[in-house]
Amino acid sequence: DTGVSQDPRHKITKRGQNVTFRCDPISEHNRLYWYRQTLGQGPEFLTYFQNEAQLEKSRLLSDRFSAERPKGSFSTLEIQRTEQGDSAMYLCASSPREQNQETQYFGPGTRLLVL
Amino acid sequence: DQQVKQNSPSLSVQEGRISILNCDYTNSMFDYFLWYKKYPAEGPTFLISISSIKDKNEDGRFTVFLNKSAKHLSLHIVPSQPGDSAVYFCAAGTASKLTFGTGTRLQVTL
């Protein structure tokens, strides 16, 4: 098992364009999380999935953001009509649903720059 | 509202000495706590965790202490090694998500 993977690792786009990121969790982890990290801050929770069900969304996740996990395996995060304020590192994490206190394992992140 | 705070943005420690990283939280509903280490251009790497019902957890060179009454936790690294130089994030968990502090940059010098 190679851990959580994310693609692409870097994305540069122009304001107003749509972007989509992919996350492949550790196999057999049925929880998947998205976080965003900006310079000088810790990661901030965006949303999470239990299998294919999206169970919680942060108020940081505006209606321009949508996340899916259609088959309960990989997940995509789409940002429509990107703005310069969307520039950040987008992190994906996964955890097994063995108990309530779960360790989340993070991928390498996708760094987004909106020009 | 910063529910998890790491008030020291940076720390410098000599190789072989103890590194102590601190974290404070405000929400009594957090039921577990974790420390992550992060290198530039990589995602956070899990180091150690502690349940809110415990006051200490140890794993090799890493020990986490939790003081619930003070809403304070700390990470001790002993002995510190140059490879420990990174940004360390404290995180507090509820059933569904983690809330992170802003990180402390540790520099271990020779």
Residue A60 pLDDT = 83
Mutate to test the interface with A, among B10, B98, B105 (most CBs of A within 10 A): B98
* A54-101 confidence digits (pLDDT tens): 998 998 888 999 999 998 899 999 999 999 999 999 999 999 876 666
Per-residue DSSP letters for A26-52?
A: -TT--EEEEEEE-TTS--EEEEEEETT
Contact residues, chain B, for A41 at CB < 8 Å: 102-103
Give B47-105 pLDDT, tens digit per residue.
Answer: 999 999 999 999 999 999 999 999 999 999 999 999 999 999 999 998 778 999 999 99
CB-CB under 8 Å, B98 with A106: no
